[in-house]
Amino acid sequence: MEENSTDSQRSPDDQAPQIENPDVEPIVYGELVILGYNGSLEVPGKGRKKSKLRLLKRPVPNGVKRSKNYVVEAPQRSFAMLDPQKHSISYTLSRDRTVIQECVLDPNTDMFQVGRSSDDPIDFVVMDTIPGEKRGDPNHVRQSTISRFACRILVERKAPFTARVYAAGFDSSKNIFLGEKASKWKNGNNQWDGLTTNGILALQHKGSFYGAKGVCGIWREVSVGGDIFCRREARSSNQKGHQFAEETNELHDGTLIDLCGATLLWRSREGLKNSPTKEDLEQLVDALNAGRPQCPVGLNTLVLPRKQTQMPADKVPYVYLKCGHVQGYHQWGRNEENQNRTCPVCFKSGGVARLMMGMEPAFYVDKGVPSYAFNPCGHIASEATVKYWVSVPIPCGNSGSMAICPFCAVRIHGYPGYVKLIWP
């Protein structure tokens, strides 16, 4: 299932549930896109399981905001927990002492929830991202580290439609639970706050994401209440980091949200208008193929595919990652010991990669010609797009980070991590 970026071509499954009204053009708030997928899931998702979600203004607001809080001895018997219509957050302080934070309807915001659970409150079901080369490997099975109710996005219903991210989401009972071992505290506003087990991280792009103007910022942790903190030393540590009171949880075009197992890119309403469409990318591929590039060894015409498909082996373009020369697949210059190949044009030796067009428009920072490829996966994009993504550290493990190809989540190799393509 290929997913497009223009409003008129979006699948209904690609959007947050709405009440259909064909006479009214829906207001688009923005789009959440999972890093590591080239325009769609490898196995097409059904319902809320997909590679991206377009957030539309809801017919009826469903956002909530914090109200009063109080301490109870038996939270399961408290009015807020028993009322199926009331949202609440519980902070367990001890076995017989729990803080209940009541929440009330906010008519000015819409709420969208993200998590691993397939329960109804979740708008966007997200599973752990497996790098492209390991997908389908039966030995690559691990326990998920993404929370069932990972985070929630609240968007103001009036222009400029400001969006904010918060750790944790409400379950089917409209409750959020922070256990006794979770990091929690009372802030200066007499409100309780806390961090989830593996945390929700956010990275703001400093400057304009589109056009790659500026640089990516530093990963911060977002609390349940939306405050911003330094990352914990270890992802699951119960000791919170230093608070940055001057920073906010607002989402801007290009903001990244890490769920500890998958990373989401936020494209704003304006950002989507500036970005290339799927049709733009298809035209770039068609223009390249119209030149009928020919392998200098086999003298066969090469065809750049738009997606992973079975093609005749002699038509598939490959790039020599040391030099950037593009050729067909052949056995000339192959080293049987290390599988490296010697380029017959410049005689440099190194790895080769099958070329594939990056077809997810949201990952592009401009509308430039696809002239660079990521190392080692071979996904092609514009120069600015490739150079931007190899500079972005994506969290991995307990406290590490690495650069990945946004189209397949494969780890970037070497320096600079990309190669300029030289077509025959």
Per-residue pLDDT tens for 275-292? 999 999 999 999 999 999
Instruction: Report the phi/psi class of residue 75: left, alpha or beta, with left for phi > 0 and alpha for psi in -120 to 50.
Output: alpha
| pLDDT, position 296 | 84
The strand ranges marked E within 274-407 are 318-320, 326-327, 341-342, 349-350, 352-354, 356-357, 370-374, 379-382, 394-396, 400-402
Q: How far apart are CA 212 and CA 114, in angstroms?
A: 27
| pLDDT, position 9 | 39
| pLDDT, position 413 | 95
Burial of 398 (0-12, 13-18, 19+ CB in 10 A): middle
Q: Which residues contact 154 (CB under 8 A, 6 or more apart)?
A: 63, 106, 109, 110, 111, 163, 164, 166
What is the DSSP secondary structure assignment for residue 136, as one 8-state letter?
A: T
| pLDDT, position 330 | 76
What separation in angstroms does the CA of 396 have from each of 143, 263, 296, 354? 15, 10, 41, 26
| pLDDT, position 43 | 55
What separation in angstroms does the CA of 257 have from each of 167, 329, 402? 10, 39, 15
Which of 109-143 are b and which e, b meaning 16 or more Cβ less than 10 Å from the residue's Cβ?
A: bbbbbbbbbebebbbbbbeebbbbeeeeeeeeeee
Provide the greatest CA pair distance for the chain. 79
Which regions in the chain score pLDDT beneath 70? Answer: 1-23, 41-49, 75-82, 133-142, 308-310, 332-338
The DSSP code sequence of 75-98 is GGGSHHHH-TT-EEEEEEEETTEE
Half-sphere exposure of 40 (CA within 13 A, CB side): 17
- End-to-end, the C-alpha distance of the chain in Å comes to 33
Query: Where along the chain do its domains lie?
Result: 7-274, 278-420
| pLDDT, position 180 | 86
